Structure 1
């Protein structure tokens, strides 16, 4: 069967932080990134809408020749991934998310068994992290708090202003107020690593901050080792392509903040997929 690049999908820019970690650990593979910037944000949309948008973008990456797609978006992973995996996958295609790789290993970070989650409203409302952590580690208590202002701050490159410090501190303290025993905070949004120095400034030293990128990259590496039938379909020519459903010039300019280097992006359209397609 013909080889193709590994697809990486996000509703916008945030998935580039995950892509950055993946490309650093596994630089030998080719990748195609798709950001649905024309319809961002996903966080405040219904489950049905996020499912439809995510399915359309995942299928677009399949059309581009990707045998494997990483849904590098917490909201999409929370609201759409499982339904796509169970109901929609064409034969020979695979889709993975960012929630399971994180929740599987979160127990290695906490000693008190109290974990805090900072995420978008959509991710918190879905309870996906709470459900997955309790499934893998029923002895861990999960505390969640939504941070609706953080994504706009990051996308405006406002990472350390006085206002940003104010909002970050408010949200961190609101989470910590839920329990004195929280010793680990998971940054459950791919935008949040860019705020890490500011978050650290308002987090007690004994509380560990966990970002997802490296965990997802390590999980992908292990997945490809466990599934040679998938790995052999993944092209190893180190070619990277970037697509957006919005303005490619704007995408290229902003993407550098998330990916850490210059990005040449191309516009692509994403067509609606009929719900009957399985």
Structure 2
């Protein structure tokens, strides 16, 4: 991801809703070196920010209802949550939660695109989002996995000010001239397959991170593989069932 700080219309935060927040926090602590922000946690089981050293990078919380899947959710920074929520509905998406204030931290809405991939709109006030990107243990890319790539190409640019760099195999999303994510252009997924946003966390060594994750109880969904430019990625499922990916890119220059 070329973004290095929170940028309007770009990804700004990721949070995990899970059946066992305590076990999930232990897993990601061991995998990425995160630690809990104890000062911001009222009690075990509540919404907990995770820090990389002293910088917020993600949150882990219980699921908010029995029908909520155990999954990571990507948040996108917006200037106006209400106006963006209106664009979501106009473009054919839906709102799972109407725009709501979170104390003085910001205002958010939970939305879904027409194929039901869920994401969050975040209008920051005192809390901007992640304090670091692209460093090992922090968000490095986001990817839309969808059974309707053509619909996504129409929907997201109508909601956000994104640039689109399509190809036959993979589309890249960008904002302010910087790519931050993508979308496989496959159309061979079954109609029942869920659509979702997949976070990629940067790491110093993809193969080592996969081995560590497996030792901690994760499953490998897509083994570590090489990509052009020396990049290496893998897709994993944590012990509670949430999918995520890891990503290593060699230094530029």
TM-score if structure 1 supplies the norm length? 0.30
Name the structure with the higher helix share: 1
Structure number, greater radius of gyration: 1
TM-score if structure 2 supplies the norm length? 0.32
Give the number of the structure with larger relative contact order, counting CA–CA contacts within 8 Å between residues 6 or more apart.
1
